[in-house]
Amino acid sequence: MRAVFVDKDGTLVENVPYNVDPARIALTPGAAPGLRALAHRFRIIVVSNQPGVALGKYPPEALAVVRARLAELVPLHGFYFCPHAPRAGCGCRKPAPGLLERAAREHGVSLADSWLIGDILDDIEAGRRAGCRTVLLDNGNETVWEMSPQRVPHHVARDLAEAANLILEHERAMA
């Protein structure tokens, strides 16, 4: 079993800080067709840092509504989030690989045969640390650019549709 792990805010949906209102959830350009194309070959699993829970902006239960709305918009096999504050030191907050490792265990996914798509280098590092191939959406959301070997993406794309095409082209070349 293979998966494409997708960051939520800024990658899958427009980045509206602390948004849990399903009416305000808007997909990023290329998200719907890109994920539909990938869903024929991969499980689509969202992995997201959600510090709003730790900061008291919303309860963890509010994310069930977000997951339900996303499942209406795109093929979705799983939704995992880190509820901890940025400096909590947990193993699930990206750039740690904990969310991907947990999802892989629960879905029987091979991380080495999977991908992560994200819009910042913390996403890329989480994917690489988990053993996945990675695609960075170069959409202007990364502003720090602290580089290390674990933060170099395998591919760079403008949006999720282009990321999906890169992944599918890679899969065809490997077949």
Read out DSSP for 76-123?
A: -SEEEEE-S-TTS--SSSTTSSHHHHHHHHHHT--GGG-EEEESSHHH
Query: What is the domain range of residue 27?
Result: 3-174
Residue 37 has pLDDT above 90, yes or no: yes
Residue 87 has pLDDT above 90, yes or no: no
Which has the closest alpha carbon to 49: 86, 21, 23, 3?
86
Number of domains in the chain: 1
- Verify whether residue 119 is a known catalytic residue: no
The predicted structure's pLDDT at residue 86: 87
- Verify whether residue 138 is a known catalytic residue: no
The predicted structure's pLDDT at residue 89: 87
Residue that has been written with the tokens 């339900």 in this structure = 68
Q: Is 46 exposed, middle or buried (0-12, 13-18, 19+ CB in 10 A)?
A: buried
Which residue has better confidence, 144 or 106?
A: 106
Candidates 7, 119, 122, 123; catalytic one: 7
The predicted structure's pLDDT at residue 175: 79
85, amino acid identity: A
**Coil, strand or helix at 69:** helix
Q: What is the mean pLDDT of residues 23-42?
A: 97
Domain harbouring 65, CATH code: 3.40.50.1000
pLDDT digits (tens, 9 = 90+) for 64-80: 999 999 999 999 999 99
The predicted structure's pLDDT at residue 88: 81
Check: CB of residue 143 under 8 Å from CB of residue 124. no
Structure tokens at 163: 């990321």
Those residues whose C-beta lies under 8 Å from the C-beta of residue 71, and which sit 6 or more positions away, are: none
Average per-residue pLDDT for the chain = 96
- pLDDT confidence bin for 109, thresholds 50/70/90: very high
The predicted structure's pLDDT at residue 144: 87
In the chain, how long is the greatest CA-to-CA distance?
A: 48
**Coil, strand or helix at 137:** strand
The predicted structure's pLDDT at residue 147: 92
Structure tokens at 155: 């591919």
- pLDDT confidence bin for 21, thresholds 50/70/90: very high
pLDDT digits (tens, 9 = 90+) for 149-172: 999 999 999 999 999 999 999 999
Candidates 9, 119, 122, 123; catalytic one: 9
Which has the closest alpha carbon to 7: 111, 90, 88, 100?
100
